[in-house]
Structure formats: structure tokens, C-alpha cells
Amino acid sequence: MFNSPHRRFNPLTAEWVLVSPHRAKRPWQGQVEKSLTASLPHYDPTCYLCPRNERAGGVVNPDYRETFVFDNDFAALLPQEEPSNPTESGHPLMIAVSERGICRVVCFSPRHDLTLPELELYQIENVISTWTRESADLASKNFIQYVQVFENKGAAMGCSNPHPHSQLWSQSLIPTEIAKELATQTAYFNEHGRPMLLDYVREEHKRKERILASNDHFTAMVPFWAVWPFEVMVVGHRPAAALSDLNPAEVSALADVFKQVTTRYDNLFEISFPYSMGFHQAPASPAGAPHPEWVLHAHFYPPLLRSATVRKFMVGYEMLAMPQRDITPETAAERLLSLPLVHYKQRS
Ligand code: H2U
Ligand code: ZN
């Protein structure tokens, strides 16, 4: 079945992906080009994220030594009390509702040149703890329903600055992707009495075809229903609604899995591998509401397909009909697993 066109179901979004493995018979025969990655300085005097430098709004960054958090100077959402244009409902086909929120930026470290896989484990733990602290702070605001932690990495993903950083956007609406995952996980839990993602991880461990990294508390795999060629999902081993539910051992375990996944990513084409990565936490509101259906997880969506310069475009059929992929998730996992766990820059 898996050598001919078929579709796979994503139970988290209740959407299908078309898989066309026969089109990928020759996927890695083409030349693998290495893009020349300019080596970055430890400190860049023109970078608005480096310590001691001035940002766009005129604020000067502190001489920070670990992570650094600030409110986004060009935030997509604002915490305004009184919306200047309240709900517009003159016609049911033209609905606009004002939206409140808070956006923050999190720098991983003072170093302009060190991405996640190049950081020490304790530094990755520190980044996760910063995401946790900031998520909890934003979730505690009465008008916030959801906190999205994400990293846009690389120019290919529209990242505006190579200084390793991530963002938190929090808002008063449960966003589209979260609403889908809440509905599917709730329905599964009501039907089976178990969280969907725990059943899924158990099945992946039985099959051992798509797992990339695993320890006591987290598993990373190319999901059965992956859309992006080298998509990865990192899933916890127990129900957890939010990053703030993790204990110190789980934070270390998560850092370990993140380091393994991002190292393999960089080693694939020996470049700093671009992606959009983000955590899916349960809605933050109503505060304290139990979420036995929710298993904390992260999605990595990398755009590259065949080389450092050949990317997968979500165009044509994908835009107009449904997502499609050529290489199977199993082939992608096999390829990532064949790579060393030592970062290419650290190999002599
Ligand atoms: P991305 O490169 O992932 O888009 O993130 C950079 C963010 O940093 C972006 O959202 C913000 C932009 O609004 N920013 C500031 O807050 N201050 C600045 O001085 C420049 C950029
Ligand atoms: Zn910098």
C-alpha cells in the first residue's frame, strides 16, 4: 500500500494528506548542494537582539547572560483595554471582532551565533524554563485564552534576524489550530477514556518505523500523517496541559530530545536547518480547568525537501485542494536516523 498513492488521516486536525511515494523513487540522486553559510560573529553590533544594543523603538537591551525576554516592539496583538473599533456585526457575512493579546520575544542566549543544537543541555533547559515562566505569566492574565510559543528559524521561514530567538503570542481567542486539536483530543478522550496522543506514542513505539529520539518522558517522531517532508512531532508521555506542568526531570528530558532532533536536522544538509517550531498547550482559560485529554507536544515544520536549496512549496494542489507529499514519513525518519548525533560544526 505504501508504495502507491494513498491518503493518511491526521487525527489531531481531522484532515487528510495525500502521499505519492512513487514520485520519490529518485529523491536523493540529484545533487545535494551545500549553501555557503557565512559564519556569524559571537556579537554583532548591528543586531537588535544582541546584549547592550539598541532596538527599533530606542530601548537598549541589558547586558544579559542567559535568556532575555522583552515585549515585541511591533506586536501583532495589543493589550488595549478599550478597543478603538469594537465588534463590527452590520452583516452576518462580514464579522469583525476586536482582539486583545500580548506578544513577547525570547532570545536563547547572548550569543549571536549559537542555535538550539549548539547550546549546552543546561542552556536548552534554561530556554524551556523561560518559555514556561513566560507562558504561565501570560496565561495568568484574565483576558488571555491561549499562549503560543514558537520559533521561526532561518530566512526561508521569514525569520528577520539570525540571532537565535523565539516568540510568544498570547490572545483572547483560541486560535484555529488549537481549536481543531482541542475538539479531536476531547472527542477521542470521551470515546476511549484515554488521551489520543498517549495511544499514538504507544503505537509508534510498537512499530519503530518513525521514531527519532526517545527517553523516559518524551518521544520525537516523523508523524504518520506528516505533511512537510521532514516534519517532526515531540510528544510527552503523560497528560500535561501546559509547559508549566513539567517537572525538572521532564524539562531535562525535553531539552535532550530537542537537542537530538535539531542536531539531526542541521546534519541533514550540513546547514543551519530552517523550520517553524511551536508548542501546543491546552487553552489557558478558564484558569485551572482540567485537561485530561491534552498531551503537551511540539511540532517542527521544516520547509526543505531535497537539499539546502530545494524546498517544498505548499502551492498549487496544496493551496487549492489538500496537502501532498512525495517521500513517505518512514523514508524521512530513516534518513534523519542515519545521521550522526554530533553536530557537523563540532566534528573535526
Ligand atoms: P522573527 O524574526 O521571528 O519575525 O522575530 C523577530 C521579532 O522581533 C518580530 O516579531 C520583533 C519583530 O516585531 N522586533 C522587536 O520587537 N524589536 C526590534 O527592535 C526589531 C524586531
Ligand atoms: Zn545578535
**pLDDT digit string (tens) for 238-274?**
999 999 999 999 999 999 999 999 999 999 999 999 9
The verdict on residue 161 lying in a domain is: yes
Question: What residue's CA is closest to ligand 1, atom 12?
Answer: 74
- Residue of 70, 167, 170, 276 with the most ligand 1 atoms within 8 Å of its CB, for mutation: 167
Give the count of beta carbons closer than 10 Å to the beta carbon of residue 89.
10
Question: What residue's CA is closest to ligand 1, atom 20?
Answer: 56
The verdict on residue 19 lying in a domain is: no
Atom of ligand 1 nearest to the CA of 59: 19
pTM of the predicted structure, to 2 decimals? 0.95
Active site residues per annotation? 165
The verdict on residue 25 lying in a domain is: no
Local confidence pLDDT in tens for the 348 residues of the chain = 578 999 999 999 999 999 999 886 655 444 444 555 668 999 999 999 999 999 998 999 999 999 999 999 999 999 987 766 666 677 889 989 899 999 999 999 999 999 999 999 999 999 999 999 999 999 999 999 999 999 999 988 888 899 999 999 999 999 999 999 999 999 999 999 999 999 999 999 999 999 999 999 999 999 999 999 999 999 999 999 999 999 999 999 999 999 999 999 999 999 999 999 999 999 998 888 999 999 999 999 999 998 898 899 999 999 999 999 999 999 999 999 999 999 999 987
The verdict on residue 16 lying in a domain is: no
Q: 85 lies in which domain range?
A: 32-340
| Cα 309 to Cα 164, 186, 306, 312, distances in angstroms | 21, 40, 8, 10
What are the strands of the beta sheet with 15-19, ordered from one edge? 6-10, 15-19, 324-325
Dihedral sign (CA 66, 71, 76, 79): positive
Atom of ligand 1 nearest to the CA of 103: 10
Residues 6+ apart with CB under 8 A from 256: 121, 213, 215, 218
The verdict on residue 348 lying in a domain is: no
- Give the ligand whose atoms come closest to the C-alpha of residue 50: 2
- Rounded to the nearest angstrom, the distance between the alpha carbon of 72 and the centre of ligand 1 is 6
Residues 201-242 have pLDDT tens digits of 999 999 999 999 999 999 999 999 999 999 999 999 999 999
One-letter amino acid of 226? A
Residues with beta carbon < 5 A to ion ligand 2? 44, 47, 49-50, 112, 163
The verdict on residue 326 lying in a domain is: yes
Please give the tally of structural domains in the chain: 1
The verdict on residue 257 lying in a domain is: yes
- Rounded to the nearest angstrom, the distance between the alpha carbon of 46 and the centre of ligand 2 is 8
CA distance 342 to 254: 18
- Give the ligand whose atoms come closest to the C-alpha of residue 161: 1
Give the count of beta carbons closer than 10 Å to the beta carbon of residue 322.
13
- Rounded to the nearest angstrom, the distance between the alpha carbon of 192 and the centre of ligand 1 is 43
C-alpha cell at 33: 548542494
CATH of residue 117: 3.30.428.10
- Residue of 72, 77, 102 with the most ligand 1 atoms within 8 Å of its CB, for mutation: 72
Pocket of ligand 1 (CB under 6 A): 48, 55-56, 72-74, 105, 152, 159-161, 167
The verdict on residue 291 lying in a domain is: yes
| The total number of residues written for the chain in this structure | 348
